[in-house]
Chains A and B, each alone.
Chain A
């Protein structure tokens, strides 16, 4: 007989024990006491639970302004600064994630000596000693501006012939060189899509990572608005369809490495067929492009010459065209030549001044060349540096492994790091001083010319740490008592700022409130072509394409240069095109995989430049057979365990420098071998579709006629409309819309009788009490313009930040337990030719969140009335009432409800960023989007204080607030003058699945507008 206790007995005993424990804990009043910790001295203007917003920025925020929301003295969410001319209140996902670093597990809290904690006093003594004896000091920092740059220059000047080296992983000195060649301006211009009617990107992912993403997205979205039957025409030249390419009207699949030849061919064509160049300039340009031809470019690119001529023609016919260059990962040693060709092409198109603005440029001092850091590593290896001070730079991680930065750090005499968070470089330092995070520090960041931003602390330091500059002032004063420096860097900054900008305390406070000064020139002058460029500059340009599949590195929109790899939000935000979360992957086409017998999730090893890395293969429908791509940003070794994942794409670089001093990268022949293992890839696309990530939804057939009244079509979740169909011909039906306007037409929905099961609720009385009806005075609704949405995922991260969404981790994402309330659905459409072969793939994005149905399937099945229809049209969810039956999620037509399988943890201090206006949900509770009920509450509160109703535009939800392309509108549908009401009655408006299952959603989508043969 078994001696074991069976499960039933165990449960019975433990049940009893549980009851006992509960009785005991309840009987002790101390166990549920909650404490107040009131202020000792009140803080001016600060009220508990009332958020305050501080304008600031950080050096890693790509030159945008931030508004940090601070509640009860804790920074809780980052929004954009509405005054800032670049981002106007909007942010990308990565820019919002800085706050997770502030509270992250990697924060350095104590001084470290050779990895061991020491006291501040010991650390200071050691540093003082080293500074006193140094003969050859160097300081290595991130890019510095204004007063911060002045300060560090002064610091290194005071000790042992110090040199100051700045390092920015993504700085591009070749663009500077190109400006010098083309126009005699050693600057990086501001590229603006404002008012553009044709944009040709030779590969630049300008909606994800290239240039000023937020202003690009905004201007691009505005240019997509249909005006008199016209909108911007977007051509993208690339082999791997990027998130930017997914928005393009036409994608030219050119082999990577042929971009420079294509740019020169386009320049030649445009110049030959009449351009905006003067006769003299035309002479210069024709002299430069003489050796190049469309045919050669076409051969290199593997496309027909007609396609390139078609591009040239489009540019030629455009009223206001802009050409953007390729990503520098494919340009190799010809980057400067490529950029010069692109600048000259823009000149020929008349875009200089209008779209390529040198009056709002970035100067050469803002763009540190990689050459400097390489030289520093060399002198460290040679033992020429006896003291290195590092701040905000991580060369050990991001320099190509060929350069062996780790060895250089080992050979440097003594390395001191001032660090807010731990990383590979800090781990190499002999002495580490904890420093305040960028959100706890004073500083200055310069963006485009005229934009000078102030960085101010938004909260007291979380730990007993001090700003790096404050500590350095201490050392300077320790060495030289007479040093004319204020005690605090804040005062140094203020002095420097006021001496440059004039004014006194009042102006300084105004600048802090505004976040800086913004005098950016909207347009620049139309610069003449300089005589700096000679034909020999372009000689020797050849195709950099490789046979078979080329390996190309892609800048990650989520991790950037790797700084954002310590943030759970970025891990859990799905990659735009593949939906992968958490890990590195090797992206390849199905064709390539089939040829090499690789299946989805197989671990493959990749040998490039003598470096081998391993990662799972991700097969992608949107990738052509000519390319294998990997993304930057992961592969850390110096972060906390959960964040050290994937491989480091920077290791794959050769380490070679261009003439201008930037690392060279070009397509290389990838050697891929199967490792013989496979792994489940954590993707976040709709469950039930298996590893093939596509969600085949539409089939576009040239044979099929577009018919806007086709009921099948009307039932698609994602819908598009041809631009011609929008032009009113007076018959009330829009245009003919037929013919070749490849309108996606769905197959497979059965005929369905559209009966409304539920009577109209808007006349019903609300359950109890007084004389009131549903939807008065408010019915909250949302409208999402699919014509503007680029699928970037900024809304997803904003929702995480606002609504206390937990990061669940890779293993749970694999099980489909991610908690995102809003997701960006990606749909693929195929255009097939007569033989049924896929000719073209179209990608469509659709942000999907709770649709707040008026006839909600979830409500009627909830046994505990935890979800119900509120008077204001919300599909409300009461967490404390939920018993976790999950009936609602099973019955939801949009799959937007998320179940808490666990009580998720906020590791480290990440719970400090929790929004105190929203409950943190527990295990066994269903949750979902409630249109930011707390933000609506705040808006109503504010209006009530003034004795009026909420006005249009006052209630702003988190996803809408963040959206860089301003695709999301929100407001009161019961107010017939509101924007959302008007959009809901737009010609393009539809409600997802409403025509099919009559759920009466509260979200209107506006159809994407397609052009001609192109897709959306």
Chain B
């Protein structure tokens, strides 16, 4: 009796989860991200869908805008930050104003509603990475973020795992990098 009951419960729970899993997996394979350059994203790289498709290839690549022109906090703060909407509108009040995506941007600006960008390079909350230190030490953005200027859809190039961080720190001990835990964990 007892054995039967256990069996029944196990099967039910398992079945429930496999169905749920199938549902989720099924959905994600059947409906790939609608961004047109999905093919450019190397297999397995994290490239979340953004509320407005923004092309780094266009801005940083073709137009050759410096990273720190928009990500202006990178050399002064722990966080590189995403530019304020105002900064987008500085150009887009005159450039490409007819495009629907830009109109969406303009509407958000008018409504004073920030656009909810999805973080691509997101670290766990117990890691305290400091952009300022790395920029000031002379590292190029691309060393961690990959060739952003070639990315139509931004994806996470580096694994951003602890091993990856520590390897680089170990390689740069002569430049003053530290492998002390408290450097990143507090």
Which residues of A pack against B, CB within 8 Å? 1-3, 5, 9, 12-13, 16-17, 20-21, 23-24, 27-29, 33-42, 47-50, 767-770, 868, 870-872, 874, 876, 878-881, 917-920, 930, 933-934, 937, 941, 944-945
Contacts and interface: CB of A to CB of B under 8 A. Distances in A.
Contacts of A40: 84-86, 108-109, 112-114
Contact of A24 (B1, B10, B24, B46): B24
A39 B6 contact: no
A945 B109 CA distance: 36
B62 interface: no
Interface string B14-35: 1011101100110010000000
Contacts of B180: 870-872, 876
A770 B128 contact: no
B119 interface: yes
Please indicate which of the listed interface residues A2, A767, A878 has the most CB atoms of chain B within 10 Å of its own CB.
A878
Contacts of A871: 180
A27 B181 contact: no
Contacts of B53: none
A879 B77 contact: no
B17 A930 contact: no
Given A21-B17, A876-B182, A33 B118 contact: yes
B21 A50 contact: no
Given A16-B14, A47-B77, A769-B170, A879 B126 contact: yes
Contacts of A42: 84, 86-87
B130 interface: yes
Contacts of A937: 128, 182-183, 186
A769 B48 contact: no
Given A770-B173, A880-B126, A919 B136 contact: no
A937 B133 CA distance: 11
A35 B17 contact: no
Nearest to B166: A768
A29 B48 contact: yes
B14 A1 contact: no
B79 interface: yes
Nearest to A22: B17
Contacts of A47: 73, 76-77, 81
Contact of A49 (B1, B9, B78, B114): B78
B interface, how many residues as a size bin?
A: 35 or more
A24 to B, nearest CB: 5
Given A20-B13, A39-B86, A933-B182, A917 B119 contact: no
Interface in B148-162: none
Interface in B133-185: 133, 136, 170, 173-174, 179-183, 185
A3 B73 CA distance: 64
Contact of A13 (B13, B82, B126): B13
Interface string B104-132: 00001100111111110010111010101
Contacts of A874: 182
B85 A919 contact: no
B5 interface: yes
Contacts of A28: 24
A13 B10 contact: yes
A33 B33 CA distance: 15
B2 interface: yes
A34 B118 contact: yes
A876 B181 contact: yes
Given A35-B118, A769-B173, A941-B132, A5 B6 contact: yes
A34 B122 contact: yes
Contacts of B136: 944-945
B42 interface: no
Q: Which 10 A-B pairs have the closest CB atoms?
A: A20-B17, A39-B84, A769-B173, A38-B82, A42-B84, A880-B126, A919-B126, A47-B77, A34-B119, A48-B79
Contact of B21 (A2, A9, A23): A23
Given A24-B17, A42-B87, A48 B117 contact: no
Given A13-B9, A24-B21, A874-B182, A41 B174 contact: no
Given A2-B2, A38-B84, A49-B77, 19 more contacts: A3-B2, A3-B5, A5-B6, A20-B17, A24-B21, A28-B24, A29-B48, A34-B122, A40-B109, A42-B86, A48-B73, A48-B78, A48-B81, A49-B78, A768-B170, A770-B174, A870-B181, A881-B181, A934-B128
Contacts of B132: 941
A35 B185 contact: no
A29 B122 CA distance: 13
Contacts of A767: 179
A16 B9 CA distance: 11
Contacts of B81: 38, 47-48
Contacts of B73: 47-48
B186 A918 contact: yes
A607 B129 CA distance: 60
Nearest to B172: A769
A29 B5 CA distance: 35
Contacts of B115: 38
Nearest to B23: A24
Nearest to A866: B181
Contacts of A933: 182, 186
A769 B179 contact: yes
A920 B124 CA distance: 12
Contacts of B20: 20, 24
8 contacts: A16-B13, A24-B24, A37-B116, A38-B82, A47-B77, A48-B77, A878-B185, A941-B130
Contacts of B112: 40
Contacts of B10: 12-13, 16
Nearest to B132: A941
B114 A38 contact: yes
Contacts of A930: 182, 186
Contacts of A879: 126, 185
Contact of A39 (B1, B25, B85, B173): B85
A881 B20 CA distance: 32
B145 to A, nearest CB: 15
Contacts of B6: 5, 9, 12-13
Contacts of A36: 82, 116-119
A23 B6 CA distance: 22
Contacts of A5: 2, 5-6, 9
Nearest to A918: B186
Contacts of A3: 1-2, 5
A257 B125 CA distance: 58
A27 B24 CA distance: 7
Interface string B73-95: 10011110111111100000000
Interface in B47-105: 48, 73, 76-79, 81-87
A47 to B, nearest CB: 4
Contacts of A919: 125-126, 185-186
Contacts of A770: 173-174
A911 B2 CA distance: 47
B113 to A, nearest CB: 7
Given A13-B13, A49-B79, A937-B186, A38 B117 contact: yes
A868 B136 CA distance: 29
B116 A941 contact: no
Contacts of A29: 28, 46, 48
A770 B24 CA distance: 49
A23 B126 contact: no
A799 to B, nearest CB: 14
A680 B69 CA distance: 62
A24 B14 CA distance: 12
Nearest to A50: B77
Contacts of A35: 116-119
A20 B21 CA distance: 8
Contacts of B170: 768-769
Nearest to A945: B136
Instruction: Identify which of B114, B174, B180, B183 gathers the most chain A CB atoms within 10 Å of its CB.
Output: B180
B186 A934 contact: yes
Nearest to A41: B86
